Amino acid sequence: MNDNDLYWASIASNANTETIGGILMPKVRAIEESDPVYYQIDDSMGKDLKERDMAIANAVQVALGGWFNQFIGPNSLYNDVASPFEYGTVAGRAVVCSFLPTLTSKAYFQLPIANNIKLTDNLYFKLIYCMSASETAKDVGLIFRYDIVQSGDQFSTPTVSQTNNESITVPNTQYVMNGYTSINFMIPVAQMGVVTNHSIIVCSLERDITVPNNHAGKFMLAGVIAYQP
């Protein structure tokens, strides 16, 4: 069976659908009979089966909390050689990546653009974090970068390249677990929509020590959630 997505995208979808187990999916077209031979047009059965698989995968993702829902934990974040973060724990309980207040510590992660991701929705990145609270009047500056790299792209010239900045206020109580969803740490639908073939999203998160009120404490990242609501 041809495994090229561009090939299957060229075949018209089946508008005749059915609902099975609450999941709406196309019916599988049968081989048509014509005297004197049987014939199949445009691999229509394969197209139907592929789209049924995608409908089932999408239903599973919705049940998990979104069309695309992926957790990137501390052990999945890659360290920068020149400006590394520290591995540590929160009160000896949860593994975290600690971003130092005196170094532009940087972490990398990457995601595939799966077939069940919706190119018509924003892709959000939620930070799960905590921090020390030695200076509640100050901020932690973060720089979030992402590139969308498609098949045929050079990594130096990706299809999309973006940099966003954000500052997070230090809480009054240290080691309070927080979930932070920023409008800056996301990929808008206008950029998701340019994806036409297999590609990956390459991301980095960096501590910005140049903010005017830089907090003299660690920013401890317990994970990143990439999702579509």
* CATH number for the domain that contains residue 119: 2.60.120.260
- Residues 90, 140: one domain? yes
- Residues 19, 125: one domain? no
Q: Which of 45-59, 80-94, 106-120, 188-202 has the highest mean pLDDT?
A: 80-94
* 104-133 per-residue burial string, b: 16 or more CB within 10 A, e: under 16: bbbbebebebeebbeeebbbbbbbbbbbbe
pTM: 0.72
For residue 5, the surrounding DSSP H or E stretch is: helix 5-9
83 or 41, higher pLDDT: 83
- Residues 100, 86: one domain? yes
Indicate if the pLDDT at residue 40 is higher than 70.
no
How far is C-alpha 223 from the chain's CA centre?
A: 12
Strands (E) in 64-198, as ranges, are: 69-72, 78-79, 86-90, 94-99, 106-112, 123-131, 139-150, 160-169, 178-187
Given this model, what pLDDT does residue 30 score?
Answer: 76
Residues contacting 135, CB < 8 A, separation 6+: 170, 215, 216, 217
- Residues 51, 80: one domain? no
The total number of structural domains in the chain stands at 2
- Residues 46, 125: one domain? no
Among 130, 155, 131, 129, residue whose Cα is nearest residue 72: 129
Given this model, what pLDDT does residue 32 score?
Answer: 64
User: Taking all residues of the chain, what is their mean pLDDT, rounded to a whole number?
Assistant: 85
- Residues 55, 99: one domain? no
- Residues 42, 153: one domain? no
- Residues 194, 100: one domain? yes
- Residues 141, 183: one domain? yes
**Domain boundary residue, one of 48, 64, 80:** 64
Indicate if the pLDDT at residue 36 is higher than 60.
no
Is the CB of residue 176 less than 8 Å from the CB of residue 211?
no
**Domain boundary residue, one of 64, 98, 114:** 64
Find the domain containing 88 and state its range: 69-227
**Domain boundary residue, one of 32, 47, 64:** 64
Given this model, what pLDDT does residue 41 score?
Answer: 60
- Residues 106, 13: one domain? no
- Residues 158, 76: one domain? yes
Given this model, what pLDDT does residue 112 score?
Answer: 87
- Residues 42, 85: one domain? no
CA–CA separation, 50 vs 44, rounded Å? 10
